[in-house]
Amino acid sequence: MKRITSLFWCFVLFAGFASASVIIQAVTLQEKQASEISKLVGNWSGESVCVDKEKFPACHDEQVIYRVAASSKPDVLTVTMDKLVNDKPETMGVLDFVYDAERQTLSSEFTRNNRHGIWEFLVKGDTIEGTLTTLPDKSLVRRVKVRKDK
């Protein structure tokens, strides 16, 4: 009976350590995600280039500024997307982007008027590159490359 009791307490102790380890890993991952998100907050400047002007004649190449702000949700950033017109920012839209720390990506699926699309960006240090694609047909509309302002 003593052996069974000892084995039981060993199991309980082991299970407690395993649970604590999982909790510590989850907290560490959340802290890493929060740290990476804080590095993304700020202004990013660059260009947004039309890919197929024949298919999308209203599309124009633009100099852009993306203003990235933290959100109340832990894995979401709010991005105000401006284009420069006569050297002055003109807001095109404000979208929430989901940040995937493991893949280093930002994405935002949206519907405006009768347009459905998805912005998908890859974060590479102080550079963000990505695309705007229409849905559901997956036509590539824009390529974007911005760099974090100093």
Tell me which of 22-36, 41-55, 123-137 is least confident: 22-36
pLDDT for 150: 87
**Mean pLDDT, the chain, whole residue set:** 86
User: Quick one: average pLDDT of 16-39?
Assistant: 59
pTM: predicted TM-score of the whole model, two decimal places: 0.76
pLDDT for 38: 86
Whether residue 10 is predicted with pLDDT greater than 70 in this model: the reply is no
User: Quick one: average pLDDT of 82-87?
Assistant: 95
109, 96 in Cβ contact below 8 A?
no
Question: So what CATH class is 41-148?
Answer: mainly beta
pLDDT for 135: 96
